[in-house]
């Protein structure tokens, strides 16, 4: 039987040193498979306080005391310390172990052995210690073999799946790689009767409580990250005891595999991020006019983007740079690229961490409309951002997707630049799956004027009285005006949107007209108010 880095009591009794003493097991013969972590010989009455647990204690009985009460207390203390077994050599102190000692050991569940012949305790200690060390060395050899196989797999071009597969085969149990917060990244190995490992993970690790408190018998090993802090963790290896128990050698192998995975993940992140930034630089240079349209197809081809003669659709996803911590851009680029593969069109994806942008170009295939492709791309981008942990339910950090106008290489640069600026101007607008860059031209113009004092003065003249009213009085009237203008003056629709009856809406609109001194049926007044409401998002 494999032990946790030692040998069993049964094995220790079979070794020549103790076997020469004619050992007789007096209690708990069913617990001889306990692990012997170390051997200690001692006679002091306070010896229990010096032990750590897992020891095989050798004694001649001198420290056991002469009174039954003392003997029972001594045995209880040994059991409480968690020693593996007590071995007492018969001789001058005891011809036969007293009943008090035997009964106390039986009650405490402690294996008690008496030796009928004298043995040299030094020789017994050396012999058992040698066996323990050899056992440790054997475990190390088995764990190092896993390390060697994983290293060879990585040097041969393998990655995370191959490393996890080797570890799963060795442990004969499913193995999972998770993010530090418990989201599944990779899985390997089969569960009972060939069950898919993903089904096993979902059943045993899928809910949050199970991720925070893993099942009994599971092994969790942290994959170190690249941070400066001692507690920096990139991922977490999880071995679940589904097909059999997990023992010390499995933890040792997992710890060695975790070291290899740290290198693999770091290398993958660096390579992915460098490549993604390189593509982002190309798309930015194209947008800024630093690459001539006639040179762009060849450079894009080197990056793997060959759209043929199809029109190009520029798209930009924008998120606040602070919402994407250092190191998450590679994960974002990889997740977005994987999601976009299902769109079915050639795509070139880059990242621009400083600006908080993900620019991309897609080929608009025949038979596909711009609107349909925009829907699929926006869904893929948002799903990828969610996988990277940058857009979650209830997250207040908006992800904005803007789709530009389709055209050839001559128009692609201007389309990317327009989409990038429009994405910045769209921050704070209502939630939409994606925006058409052309529909944001007014917002873009106002955004460009955001620092001009005349824009702030215009906003204050147009809606200043309403803003002052809403600071001190209820109900707030700005939302009413926004809904009214959003529905192009259709009062019934605005009332439904605001969950008001019509008379309440009429009263509020009348009050707005009084405060602003304007007629809400005047087209010029409506235009000015619409511009002011849109401009106030960009003014300080």
Express each pLDDT in 220-266 by its tens digit: 898 887 543 445 677 888 888 888 888 888 888 999 999 998 888 77
Measured between alpha carbons, how far is 168 from 143 in angstroms, rounded to an integer?
A: 13
Looking from the CA of 525 toward its CB, the CA atoms found within 13 Å total 12
Residue labelled with tokens 């190390």: 140
CATH of domain 143-266: 3.30.450.40
Are 144 and 167 in contact by the 8 Å Cβ rule? The answer is no
Same fold, 143-266 and 453-535: no
Token digits of residue 108:
């405490």
Domain boundaries, the chain: 7-130, 143-266, 271-441, 453-535
Helices (H) and strands (E) in the chain, counts: 19, 16
Phi, psi of 222 (to 5 degrees): -80, 140
Highest CATH level, class, for 7-130: alpha beta
Measured between alpha carbons, how far is 472 from 123 in angstroms, rounded to an integer?
A: 91
pLDDT for 186 equals 75
Residue labelled with tokens 């009348």: 510
Tell me the β-bridge partners of 308: none
Inter-axis angle of helices 121-155 and 160-171, nearest 10: 150
DSSP state of 407: B
Cβ neighbour number for residue 14 with a 10 Å cutoff: 12
Contact residues for 455 (Cβ-Cβ < 8 A; gap 6+): 446, 449, 535, 538, 539
Q: If we measure between CA atoms, which residue out of 120, 133, 79 comes closest to residue 103? A: 79
pLDDT for 2 equals 43
Q: Walk along the chain (540 residues) and give the pLDDT tens digit of each residue.
A: 344 556 889 999 999 999 999 999 999 999 999 988 889 888 888 888 888 888 999 999 888 888 999 999 999 999 999 999 999 999 888 989 999 999 999 999 999 999 999 999 999 999 988 888 887 787 788 889 989 999 998 888 777 888 988 999 998 888 888 877 776 777 787 655 555 555 565 666 555 545 556 677 788 898 887 543 445 677 888 888 888 888 888 888 999 999 998 888 777 666 666 677 778 889 999 999 989 999 899 888 878 899 988 999 999 999 865 555 555 777 788 888 888 888 888 999 988 887 888 999 999 999 899 999 999 999 988 888 888 777 544 444 568 999 999 999 999 999 999 999 999 888 767 678 899 999 888 888 888 888 888 888 898 998 999 989 988 888 989 999 988 888 888 989 989 989 999 899 999 999 999 999 898 888 898 899 989 888 887 776
Contact residues for 113 (Cβ-Cβ < 8 A; gap 6+): 13, 23, 24, 25, 26, 85, 86, 87, 88
Contact residues for 65 (Cβ-Cβ < 8 A; gap 6+): 45, 71, 73, 74
- What is the β-pairing status of strands 35-36 and 23-27? unpaired
The CA-CA-CA angle for residues 444, 446, 447, to 5°, reads: 60
Are 142 and 257 in contact by the 8 Å Cβ rule? The answer is no
Measured in whole angstroms, the distance separating CA 54 from the mean position of its chain's CA atoms is: 37
Classify 130 as helix, strand or coil: helix
CATH topology of domain 453-535: Arc Repressor Mutant, subunit A (1.10.10)
Measured between alpha carbons, how far is 359 from 399 in angstroms, rounded to an integer?
A: 13
- What is the β-pairing status of strands 400-403 and 435-436? parallel
- What is the β-pairing status of strands 184-188 and 175-178? antiparallel
CATH topology of domain 271-441: Alpha-Beta Plaits (3.30.70)
């Amino acid at each position: 039987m494999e032990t946790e880095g030692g040998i069993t009591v049964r094995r220790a009794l079979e070794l020549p040193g103790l076997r020469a003493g004619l050992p007789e097991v007096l209690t708990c013969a069913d617990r001889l498979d306990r692990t012997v972590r170390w051997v200690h010989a001692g006679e002091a009455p306070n010896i229990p306080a010096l032990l750590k647990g897992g020891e095989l204690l050798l004694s001649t009985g001198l420290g056991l005391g002469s009174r039954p009460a003392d003997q029972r207390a001594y045995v209880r203390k040994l059991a409480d310390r968690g020693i593996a077994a007590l071995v007492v050599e018969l001789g001058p102190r005891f011809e036969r172990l007293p009943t008090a000692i035997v009964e106390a050991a039986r009650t405490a569940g402690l294996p008690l052995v008496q030796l009928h012949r004298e043995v040299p305790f030094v020789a017994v200690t050396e012999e058992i210690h040698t066996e323990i060390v050899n056992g440790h060395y054997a475990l190390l050899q088995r764990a190092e073999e896993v390390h060697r196989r994983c290293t060879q797999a990585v040097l041969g071009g393998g990655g995370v799946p191959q490393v996890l597969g080797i570890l799963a085969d060795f442990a004969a149990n499913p193995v999972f790689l998770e993010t530090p917060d418990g989201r599944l990244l990779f899985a390997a190995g089969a569960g009972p009767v060939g069950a898919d490992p993903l089904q096993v993970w979902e059943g045993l690790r899928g809910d949050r409580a199970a991720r925070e408190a893993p099942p009994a018998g599971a092994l969790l090993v942290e994959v170190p990250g690249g941070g400066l802090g001692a507690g920096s963790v990139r991922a977490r290896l999880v071995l679940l005891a589904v097909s059999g128990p997990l023992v010390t050698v499995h933890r040792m192998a997992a710890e060695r595999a975790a070291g290899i995975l740290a290198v693999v993940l770091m290398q993958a992140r660096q390579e992915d991020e460098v490549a993604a930034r390189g593509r982002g630089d190309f798309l930015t240079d194209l947008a800024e006019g630093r690459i001539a349209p006639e040179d762009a197809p060849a450079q894009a081809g080197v990056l793997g983007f060959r759209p043929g003669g199809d029109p190009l659709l520029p798209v930009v996803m924008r998120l606040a740079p602070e919402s994407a911590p250092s190191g998450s851009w590679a994960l974002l680029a990889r997740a977005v690229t994987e999601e976009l593969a299902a769109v079915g069109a050639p795509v070139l994806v880059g990242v621009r961490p400083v600006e908080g942008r993900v620019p991309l170009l897609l080929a608009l295939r025949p038979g596909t409309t711009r609107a349909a492709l925009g829907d699929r791309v926006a869904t893929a981008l948002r799903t990828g951002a969610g996988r990277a942990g940058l857009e979650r339910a209830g997250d207040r950090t908006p992800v904005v997707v803007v789709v530009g106008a389709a055209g050839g290489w001559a128009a692609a640069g201007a389309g990317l630049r327009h989409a990038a600026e429009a994405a910045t101007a769209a921050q704070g607008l209502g939630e939409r799956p994606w925006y058409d860059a052309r529909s944001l031209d007014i917002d873009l113009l106002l955004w460009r004027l955001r620092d001009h004092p005349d824009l702030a003065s215009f906003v204050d003249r147009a809606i200043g009285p309403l803003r002052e009213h809403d600071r001190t009085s209820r109900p707030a009237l700005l939302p009413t005006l926004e809904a009214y203008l959003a529905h192009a003056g259709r009062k019934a629709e605005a009332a439904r949107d605001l969950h008001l009856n019509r008379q309440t809406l009429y009263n509020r609109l009348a009050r707005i007209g009084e405060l602003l001194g304007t007629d809400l049926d005047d087209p010029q007044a409506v235009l000015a108010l619409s511009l002011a409401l849109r401009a106030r998002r960009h003014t300080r």
